């Protein structure tokens, strides 16, 4: 199976703090890979490095064999990388529909000049983007709140809207930073169902950061475990369950 994403000996420092230390693993095309670890293990720093928000001092990050090191964040999105955030980052005064439409800007070919000169083309493009967004709204069961102001929604619904915004980019690699944090059991089950549906229907490669170990074990093909910025385990859920170093550092020892 070819690698969609390759993390090659990536190290990230903030002054004397080593957030990531020689991290190396692959995310294979079409899989769901989870990254787990205690708070401060470096999980979000890793996602921020993949998206270009952070710039590792050492190592290389490749998407489909192409180095991302010198590619700015906006261009990485155009290459097919999309993400959700640990802390929700939506336009709270805008509607659900407008938040999803805003994510379509990277696919738009019109600007102020072309909009003025070629009204018909602009309208056709707007309709096409709107149709794609409406499909996402239907898929995530957001029809009843599509025109609601995001700031007035419950936390669980806002997390679902953020997933929708990430999907509006049409990613080939979807990075989910704690998509179920703060949710109740029913909301987590819904989110897990949506993630599995995204993977099965669209074949999207997914890299997931999540603290709910039971859920991670249920939906992931493979798991990478970080601790204090180092990789301490990698393998299938069954292999991670039996990894002594992981048990000691994160899952907790029995007895």
Q: What is the DSSP string of 174-226?
A: EEEESTTTT--HHHHHHHHHHHHHHHHHH--EEEEE-S-HHHHHHH-SEEEEE
Q: What is the pLDDT of residues 41-68, one digit of tens each?
A: 999 999 999 999 999 999 999 999 999 9
pLDDT of residue 108: 56
Q: What is the pLDDT of residues 122-154, one digit of tens each?
A: 666 677 778 889 999 999 999 999 999 999 999
Give the rounded percent of residues in the chain with a pLDDT score beyond 70.
Answer: 89
Residues 228-234, mean pLDDT to the nearest whole number: 95
| Contacts with 106 (C-beta within 8 Å, 6 or more apart), sequence order | 74, 77, 78, 169
Give the rounded percent of residues in the chain with a pLDDT score beyond 90.
Answer: 68
Q: DSSP code of 149?
A: B
pLDDT of residue 112: 44
User: CA–CA separation, 109 vs 48, rounded Å?
Assistant: 27
pLDDT of residue 211: 87
> Where does the pLDDT of residue 240 fall: very low under 50, low under 70, confident under 90, or very high at 90 and above?
very high
Q: Is the pLDDT of residue 254 over 50?
A: no
Based on its alpha-carbon atoms, the radius of gyration of the chain, rounded to whole angstroms, reads 19
pLDDT of residue 116: 46
Sheet holding 3-14, edge to edge: 17-28, 3-14, 58-63, 66-67
Residues 105-124, mean pLDDT to the nearest whole number: 54
Q: What is the pLDDT of residues 64-110, one digit of tens each?
A: 999 999 999 989 988 999 999 877 778 888 999 999 988 887 655 55
Domain ranges of the chain: 1-80+173-179+207-255
pLDDT of residue 86: 74
pLDDT of residue 152: 93
What token pair was written down for 35? Answer: 């990254």
Q: Which residue did the predictor score with more confidence, 220 or 102?
A: 220
Q: If you classify domain 1-80+173-179+207-255 with CATH, what class do you get?
A: alpha beta
Q: Is the pLDDT of residue 119 over 60?
A: no
Q: What is the pLDDT of residues 6-41, one digit of tens each?
A: 999 999 999 989 999 999 999 999 999 999 998 889
Claim: this prediction has a pTM higher than 0.85: yes
Q: Which residue did the predictor score with more confidence, 252 or 61?
A: 61
Nearest CA to 32 out of 179, 198, 178 is that of 198
What token pair was written down for 34? Answer: 């989870």
**145 neighbors 53 (Cβ within 8 angstroms):** no
pLDDT of residue 104: 81
Q: DSSP code of 140?
A: T
């Amino acid at each position: 199976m070819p690698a969609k994403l390759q993390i090659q000996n990536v190290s990230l420092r903030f002054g004397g703090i080593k957030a990531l230390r020689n991290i190396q693993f692959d995310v294979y095309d079409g899989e769901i890979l989870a990254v787990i670890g205690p708070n401060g293990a470096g999980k979000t720093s890793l996602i921020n490095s993949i998206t270009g928000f952070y710039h590792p001092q050492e190592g290389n990050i490749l998407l489909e064999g192409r180095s991302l090191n010198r590619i700015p964040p906006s261009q990485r999105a155009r290459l097919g990388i999309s993400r959700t955030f640990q802390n929700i980052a939506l336009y709270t005064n805008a509607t659900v529909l407008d938040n999803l439409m805003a994510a379509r800007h990277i696919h738009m070919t019109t600007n102020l000049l072309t909009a003025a000169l070629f009204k018909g083309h602009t309208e056709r493009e707007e309709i096409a983007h709107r149709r794609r967004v409406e499909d996402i709204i239907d898929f995530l069961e957001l029809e009843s709140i599509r025109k609601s102001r995001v700031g007035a929604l419950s936390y669980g619904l806002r997390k679902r809207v953020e997933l929708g915004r990430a999907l509006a980019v049409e990613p080939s690699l979807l990075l989910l930073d704690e998509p179920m944090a703060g949710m109740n059991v029913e909301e987590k089950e819904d989110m897990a169902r949506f993630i599995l549906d995204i993977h099965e229907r669209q074949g999207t490669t997914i890299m997931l950061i999540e603290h709910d170990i039971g859920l991670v074990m249920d939906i992931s093909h493979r798991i990478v475990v970080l601790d204090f910025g180092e990789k301490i385990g990698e393998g299938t859920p069954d292999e991670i369950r039996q990894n002594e170093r992981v048990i000691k550092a994160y899952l907790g020892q029995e007895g």
